[in-house]
A and B are shown apart, each in its own frame.
Chain A
Amino acid sequence: MTIPDMNFPDATAEDGAIPVHLGLLRKGQRAEVIGLDETAATTPLPPGELERRMIEMGLIEGARLEVLHEGFPGSDPIAVRIADHILALRRAEAHAVLVSPLA
């Protein structure tokens, strides 16, 4: 299995780490949210709605997260711990979250 090529010319992280889509993280990886970009995800929702729902569920700039579990088959959906709670989401929508991986 190959991880798709990550190519985000516009995005730059404050600390210099390469920003990644949350949808590409694997189990055990930690990251900090640096931005939300709905256009990177496929969604039937009206514009702006996915972003608002994500903020409501704690996916907001500065939030630190860790991918705890992966579904089966296809390692999808994922369960992510954000601060005090665990959020389940599909990789397709997780692409809308830009994160900066932490060591």
Chain B
Amino acid sequence: MSSTAILAGPPRIALVGNPNCGKTALFNALTGARQKVANYPGVTVERKVGEFLSPAGARVQIIDLPGTYSLRARSPDEEVTRDVVLGRFEHETPPDVMVCVADATNLRLHLRLVLELRKLGRPIILALNMMDVAEARGCRVDAGALSAALGVPVVPTVAIRRHGVRGLLDQIDRTVALASGSSAALSGVAPCGWSEPTASDLRAYHREVEDVLAAALRDAGRPSLATRRIDAALLHPAIGLPFLFLVLFLMFQAVFAWAAWPMDMIDAGLTWFQGTVGAALPDGLLKSLVTDGIIAGVGSVLIFLPQILVLFFFILILESTGYMARAAFLLDRLMGGVGLHGRAFIPLLSSFACAVPGIMAARTIENRTDRLATIMIAPLMTCSARLPVYTLIIAAFVPNRTMLGGLVGLQGLVMFTLYAAGILSALAVAFVLKRTVFKGAREPLLMELPSYRLPSARDVLLGLFERARIFLARAGTVIFAIMILLWFLGTFPAAPDGATGPAIDYSFAGMLGHALAPLLAPIGFTWQIAIALVPGMAAREVAVAALGTVYALSETGDALSGSLASVLAADWSLPTALSLLAWFIFAPQCVSTLSVVKRETNSWFWMLAMVAYMTLLAYGAAFVTFRVASALLGG
């Protein structure tokens, strides 16, 4: 320990590399589950930090930086990478050592970044990743010759199988020891020789890469034949788009089919927990707060964890196999019809799970107006928080029948229609935006289609673990607080003696609901719905728990949905139910989304514009739905 004690604090390593170089897999291999995801101060770029113990016994901190092709940042994401490695980032000292990750099968593209990083005058290690794929394709790289040509230590790795990690750790130890020694001797770092490259600088870098490859590449190998064959089918003009839509359709069916069993388990667990706690507490306000307010309320949100995980499972698989870039390729022309960039597909698809990561993923779009247009329509994608509302109303009003010989459920079909309505309206809004406020040509599409890869179970599981943690943290904080507030609003003041209606009728929530009711009557909403929408402003899924409270039910999760569904089926007309579904397609009811829009656009204007246009659409759609359905059904 004494030899590394020269450095103040643990040494800091930054992982830098092109997108698709296996950087995240290497980060996972080095840190395992010991990683934290937070935001950089001032910008909402995710900052992934992990820690590990080096073979020499030093505690090492490692940062996973956003992937980039160049230090010439083009998007907010790449700006973070540039600023961190250049040491321009406030509150953050520059990394002691940079580990540059390069795909061994694609050195011609990846080595230029290494040359740029070398100009910084800081210690670099080159991790030559995906060596197994390179060998399988007959590509032979001489790591020793590469190291000699670049003047940088080179370590071959296979991150997804955690091969070569030990060698990399040893090299990190050596480089850190050397860096601390030299910085003590030279009292400072080498001067930074990097400046933004011009086109002729880039050509010079490119020639240098060719010289390095001439010295180190023994055999160039063949391009991936498998990738070419798969693409011949999946990018086929006639097969490509139908296959993509089939994948998306299966994904939404799986969200319901796969999540059903774990949801039942969580539900049973919550019911048991509620009963046990309820039996242990004396009757009174405290028991009511704990069982009805906290357990029932937070439980009604927790139960959607399986569905969120199934969605993210698909998104992670699509990303790690390399299909996501193909989807952007396939959709670029269609999305171009409404003025959107093909790359907007990834934020929009993420928004099906939750608009917050979706809006943050829009950072990869370089152009500001393209990015704003994508952010503005992202909340129209049906996020998983709408599922509880949809599930409840569909269970109450749509018969559980199967069609096409049991292949497709009618309820699933209605759900698919709701998703489609969200997508189509998003495209319509984008179309209008790109022709009015966001005029101008689209940002160019210059996107690498990475070779297809089998995803690693470990990396997918770590990704899911991260998402679960973020969701549970939200359930434990924002939603927990809202549930207590809601319980308070629904409990006080207490009903007078000899009251006939449910207690909530006399509470603050009841008063608020009754006050809002005249506004919502033209779209067919009852005063109970009006009450549920008040806490539902904080998060959509809260509306279900709120309806449960309004109808004085005490069950949680599925049991609540079950009994609530029968109450609603008896209490609401079909036009009211359809009107509420239409409302939820558009309503901007999520404080988290609005706050992330404010942060990402750095403007109150765009956030308020989003609230205004979505509320107008929601009210309009609900109004039309209610009137048309009433007329058709003779209501």
Contact surface of A with B, Cβ cutoff 8 Å: 36, 42-45, 48, 50-58, 60-61, 68-77, 79, 81, 83-90, 93
Contacts and interface: CB of A to CB of B under 8 A. Distances in A.
Contacts of B197: 52
A43 B240 contact: no
Contacts of B203: 55, 60-61
A36 B240 CA distance: 31
B161 interface: no
A88 B325 contact: yes
Interface string B445-462: 111111000000000000
A77 B445 contact: yes
B112 A76 contact: no
A89 B445 contact: yes
A77 B333 contact: yes
Nearest to A27: B237
B445 A93 contact: yes
Nearest to A58: B109
Interface stretch (B69-77, B494-502, B518-526): B69-77
Nearest to A45: B444
B444 A57 contact: no
A73 B333 contact: yes
16 contacts: A45-B443, A52-B198, A52-B199, A53-B444, A57-B448, A69-B235, A73-B237, A75-B237, A77-B332, A84-B106, A85-B106, A86-B227, A87-B449, A88-B342, A88-B446, A89-B444
Contacts of B305: none
A42 B441 CA distance: 8
B440 A90 contact: no
Contacts of A76: 332-333
Contact of B332 (A54, A58, A60, A71): A71
Contacts of B237: 70-73, 75
Q: Which of B105, B444, B445, B447 has the most CB of A within 10 A?
A: B444
A56 B235 contact: no
A73 B238 CA distance: 10
Nearest to A84: B106
Given A52-B202, A60-B203, A71-B332, 15 more contacts: A43-B441, A45-B443, A55-B206, A56-B202, A68-B231, A69-B329, A72-B333, A76-B332, A87-B448, A87-B449, A88-B325, A88-B329, A88-B448, A89-B445, A93-B445
B367 interface: yes
A6 B408 CA distance: 52
Contact of B449 (A51, A56, A58, A79): A79
A54 B70 CA distance: 12
B443 A44 contact: yes
Contacts of A87: 446-449
A6 B39 CA distance: 51
B455 to A, nearest CB: 19
A68 B234 CA distance: 12
Contact of A43 (B109, B333, B444): B444
B365 to A, nearest CB: 13
B446 A54 contact: yes
Contacts of B72: 52, 56
A79 B202 contact: no
Q: Which of A53, A84, A88 has the most CB of B within 10 A?
A: A84
Contacts of A71: 235, 237, 329-330, 332-333
Interface string B429-441: 0000000000011
B223 interface: yes
Contact of B235 (A42, A44, A58, A79): A79
A69 B446 contact: no
B209 to A, nearest CB: 10
Contacts of B202: 52, 55-56
Identify the 10 closest CB pairs spanning chains A and B, nearest first: A72-B237, A86-B449, A69-B235, A44-B441, A55-B202, A93-B444, A88-B447, A88-B329, A84-B106, A56-B69
B442 A44 contact: yes
A51 B333 contact: no
Contacts of A61: 203
B70 A79 contact: no
Given A42-B441, A71-B329, A74-B333, A85 B448 contact: yes
A56 to B, nearest CB: 5
Q: Which of A53, A70, A85, A90 has the most CB of B within 10 A?
A: A85
Contacts of A85: 106, 108-109, 448-450
Nearest to A44: B441
Contacts of A48: 198-199
B241 interface: yes
A52 B64 CA distance: 26
A77 B108 CA distance: 24
Nearest to A49: B74
A69 B163 CA distance: 34
Contacts of B241: 72
A84 B199 contact: no
